[in-house]
Amino acid sequence: MGFMDEIRKLTHPYSEQEEEYDDYDDEPLEEENPAPTRRTFGKSASAEPKPAANRVVNFANTSKPVEVVLQHMERFERIEEIGDLLRANKSVILNLDKTDTAIARRIVDFLSGCTYGMGGDLKKVASRTFLVTPNHVSVTGSVELEDIYFDRS
């Protein structure tokens, strides 16, 4: 049989190796993801679990009421009052009707910087009337006014 084995090796070079691996198919496969085992630390596993604590928070009691302060400003020297109100988380409706145009622009510029630094907002709600809000107050909607900044008269 030696001559026939040599011919078989030449025509089928991998047939002997296939026979070697044929036995592996009969063995049982191990699970790739074994079932997780429960580990306990500290107390024994027989201890009863405690019921979950009540973690409900009543948000109605935690929020502060929103205050809105009406201010009429004629002089720039009083601008700190509005800055203090914003730092106290109060909204301000600012009326600049009787204020000189140059001073009113300085006031609006100052408050614009304050609200930007605090994360608040400055909205024009009427001609020369502004709503100044701290960061926790959101204002929705818009008012379309012809005069974007001030009357140039």
Domain of 104: which CATH number? Answer: 3.30.110.150
Q: What is the pLDDT of residue 28?
A: 63
122 domain residue, yes or no = yes
88 domain residue, yes or no = yes
Q: What is the pLDDT of residue 1?
A: 63
Q: What is the pLDDT of residue 153?
A: 44
Separation CA 19–CA 58 (nearest Å) = 73
pLDDT in tens, 49-84: 555 555 554 445 445 677 888 988 888 988 999 889
pLDDT in tens, 81-137: 988 999 998 999 999 999 999 999 999 999 999 999 999 999 998 889 999 998 888
Say what the pTM is: 0.52
Domain span holding position 128: 63-133
pLDDT in tens, 14-33: 666 555 555 555 666 666 66
Q: What is the DSSP letter of 99?
A: S
37 domain residue, yes or no = no
Q: Which of 80, 79, 78, 90 is nearest to 136 (CA)?
A: 90
139 domain residue, yes or no = no
Q: What is the pLDDT of residue 113?
A: 92
83 domain residue, yes or no = yes
Q: What is the pLDDT of residue 47?
A: 57
31 domain residue, yes or no = no
Q: What is the pLDDT of residue 36?
A: 64
Domain count, the chain: 1
28 domain residue, yes or no = no
Separation CA 130–CA 77 (nearest Å) = 18
Q: What is the pLDDT of residue 152?
A: 47
Q: What is the pLDDT of residue 105?
A: 94
Amino acid sitting at position 1: M
Which residues, in sequence order, are bridge partners of residue 122? 132
105 domain residue, yes or no = yes
CB neighbour class for 147 (10 Å; exposed up to 12, middle 13-18, buried from 19): exposed
